[in-house]
Structure 1
Amino acid sequence: MPDLTRTTSPGRTHTSGGDKQLRRRVLSAASVGQLIEWYDFALYGYAVPTIAHLFFPESSSAAALLSSLAIYGVAFVMRPLGGIVFGRLGDRLGRQVVLAAVLGLAGVSTAAIGVLPTYASIGVFAPLLLLVCRLLQGFSAGGEAIGASSFAVEHAPGNRRATWVNLVTAMSVVPPLVATVFVGTLSANLTPGAYESWGWRIPFLVALPLALVGLFIRLKTEESPVFKQARETGQLSKQPLREALRSNRAALGYVFCFAALAALAFYLIVGYLVTYLTVTVGLTKAQAMWTNAAALVVLSVLLPVGGRISDRVGRRPMLVTGSALLAVVGYLIFVLASGGGLVAALAAQLLLVLGISVFGGAAYTVYIEMFPTATRFTGAAMAYNLAYALFGGTAPFFGAWLVAETGSARAPGVYLTVVALAVLAVAFRVPETSKRRLD
């Protein structure tokens, strides 16, 4: 079993600090998939009302909406499976080729939604085909985040790993903003009939040319030096899944715990707070979306800052501080937000952004540093995606359920605080990985 307490020098400087061209290529290749993958997920979320009407024949609009939301959720169920399959391939064949395959699958499955016949045309096959597309989207998402992070970390200089990973992670914040603007512009400039007939399809179709551009970028970038060395020296595993389960159980546990808190916090701000601010607090949809967009912009700026600090002070201090901060502000966020008003809504979301930035400054890199090269993609993707399915995919539903069951608008904050406190206990025990050599 790998020694999780081992620390060495920061590691080989795989890319020269002066090689800005290679840095741009690597970060572009890693980031482009984040942009497209999260664009796909955000887009479906914004199109749910239209999809509910066109693909589900229920006489009740509420039933149709629930059906379309259920299909939104099944994508998260596929993420762990996608993580295992693509992770295993990535540990055997290489990061580059698998990241290209993941991106191609994401682009095709998203564009396919844009050409699907509706229920009025082909009956029950319409929602079934929509389900297949969403399953493929979730399957591809299972290989994207960890694959891109592994690619970035394995290329990065030893003292810049968290900075590089968080530059890539910050790109996941941009697509919801792009999707919001795209869908909003189309719906505002088309008649309701035109938008429902063909306008809603355009954003989905755009995913295909975006994916082709991304494929070109990824295929032009070299395989990571760490993986190439492992392949040349015969250090790759023929059974990375079995080896990860047998030899990396501590790493799997740490990654699952940290990813659980990161997923819960991230999906609260991306997938739940807009609904919470409109339904529970009483803000208009426009007010809720604008405050949320502002908070996401700040998050995209602060994540790389958190990574840079983590490269200086280490992973454990950031994980401890970040989980403690999320535990403290978890309840306060919903106290502020439930008070009503734009300023309170923005302040609450900025507090959550601060906690995510500190915790994520280390967490997204620890996922990768915890594993040896032979099982890195498989082990990290399995633990990460399972946590995201259980804590991220359920965050919007569970948050709404807590409010309904308890009658307290602050109940989701208690949930976040409890999870953060549990992870804080784990963070105190995690071995420091910032100076570990990747091998």
Structure 2
Amino acid sequence: MEILDDLQFRGLINQVTDEEGLKSLLNQESVKLYCGFDPTADSLHIGHLVGVLALKRFQMAGHQPIALVGGATGLIGDPSGKKAERTLNTKEVVEGFSQSIKNQLSQFLDFNKEGNPAQIANNYDWIGSLDLITFLRDIGKSFGLNYMLAKDSVASRLEAGISFTEFSYMILQSYDFLKLYETQNCKLQIGGSDQWGNITAGLELIRKSVEEDSKAFGLTIPLVTKSDGTKFGKTEGGTIWLDKEKTSPYEFYQFWINTDDRDVVRYLKYFTFFTKEEIDALEEETKNAPEKRLGQKALAEEVTKLVHGEEAFVQAVKISESLFSGNVGDLTADEIKQGFKDVPSFQVNNEEEVGLIDLLVNSKISPSKRQAREDISNGAIYVNGERAQELDRVISKEDRIEGQFTIIRRGKKKYYLIKY
């Protein structure tokens, strides 16, 4: 399947300039294309993953992707999709963010692929040294005020207010496309649907600055949504990041395994490299036996392996199964940190050995000693997955997993973490 046909099947084309012209170009030669990622944090999140994987799809089809880190535009702030001005970060902070994002992008794209190796670029390399007079005369002169005001990214902000700084973002991003077109022969920019105005502005700058009939193109990808109306990539715990230190592989896996039936086929198309036949089969299985959640399991496995690797996926499944079954005693300390991140916890002095009844009361697992005795006698208390029914039970060092944790369960699902 040709790359544009594959993107069309996956629902990954929102808008494209001159689709027939782009299709013809992609069939004739290996095309350089780019997608920009502004360093507004020290990690990309799963909302960025669609664009990253789109670059990977183009590379797999024989084209050459350029992942552009916005070291300069990240200092300015993109008004697209924002209701108010961004808080500006310092140059040092943005440089740190840029390096982190470069490292993340490197795990998805092949920089040694024979014939079409991926590239990393940073727009601070050409915007950082740009002087004001050149900016105004050679670049700003190509942008009419009415043209800029008509763009959605600007028009949507006029009522609430927009600074000249963010108003200028479109010009700087357009300059990126011009520089990559001139220096790298980069002929295609891709981005989220909220970037359409910035992308077409770049095409206009190329046309005015280089040649009237320049062969450059733009393509946007739909922004990912959820059928229940909540924001994609967000949970009660916050944003789902690609950095395992910010979102553990277990939390990452859980996000995908809990995908709504209404969204799972669409996400299989967006976030995996399954073929049309494989996705069609999973769609049929999901429709006929939704209780098996085969689509969600396939999605969670593929994306977790892609972002965190095979070992992290196996670990995430182990944690999930242990929590479901209650057999938590064989979890490692690292797995406990992931799986019990959000459960209530209680700190105990390292040297203490404490009676189970006192521990239950002190950690507020049971509201009173009378209730604690009742809970223990009724078999409602579990220590590291094992039922504890002895009223004189003492929690000793042998009950500490790797010397760091004891897991208490009250009833079927209420977990508590004792930390040492």
TM-score of the pair, normalised by structure 1? 0.23
Larger Rg: 2
The structure in which a higher percent of residues are helix is 1
TM-score computed with the length of structure 2 as normaliser: 0.23
Structure with bigger strand share is: 2
